[in-house]
Each structure stands twice: as C-alpha cells, then as structure tokens.
Amino acid sequence: MINILIRLLTLNAQNVIPEILWALLAIYVLSVLVTITSVWSTVRSGKARFLWILVVVFVPFLGILAHCVHSLTLADLTSLKQFGLFTKRSA
C-alpha cells in the first residue's frame, strides 16, 4: 500500500493507477452526499439550505470544510448554552 501511495505522489503519468483515482472520486462523492444530507437535516430555512447545497456542490473541497466548521461551531454553541454559558443574565 505504501508503495502505491509513493507512486501516486510522484505525479508521473505512468504511475497513476486508475483504481486509486476512482476510489478518490468515490470518497469525494460520498463526502458530498453526506454533507448534503447534513444540510438537509439541520438547516431550517429553504433559502439557507439552497445556498449551502450550492456552496457544497460548486466549491469542491472548501464547501464541505466550511459546512463542517459551521456544524461544529453550531453544535458547540448549543451544548455550551445547555450549561448556562452565552445566555443573557438580568440583575
């Protein structure tokens, strides 16, 4: 396996194995599908869903990364609010 990765990273045309390229494409497609499913299940607004899906599909890797960061930030804020942080306190 290490030998195959070294051959792929040398970027010579004869060293690129089609099976690895297909596997990388499959991983990317699955990542996009999982991200779209996440967008569909977490985002409430129709416009926001549409915009997130456009970003994920048309900005190849950065769209997935941006949604991942957004989801993690949102989840962390929600869990921190459950512990009483980031809430307005009145005197």
* pLDDT at residue number 11: 64
Taking the model in full, what pTM does it have?
Answer: 0.62
Output the tens digit of pLDDT for each of the chain's 91 residues: 777 777 667 766 565 677 778 888 899 999 999 999 988 888 788 898 999 899 998 998 899 999 888 887 777 776 767 777 666 665 5
* pLDDT at residue number 17: 73
* pLDDT at residue number 28: 92
Closest CA to 32 of 16, 24, 8, 21: 24
Upper half-sphere CA count for residue 21 (Cβ side, 13 Å): 8
Amino acid identity at 20: I
Upper half-sphere CA count for residue 12 (Cβ side, 13 Å): 7
Per the CB < 8 A criterion, the answer to whether 43 and 52 are in contact is yes
Amino acid identity at 11: L
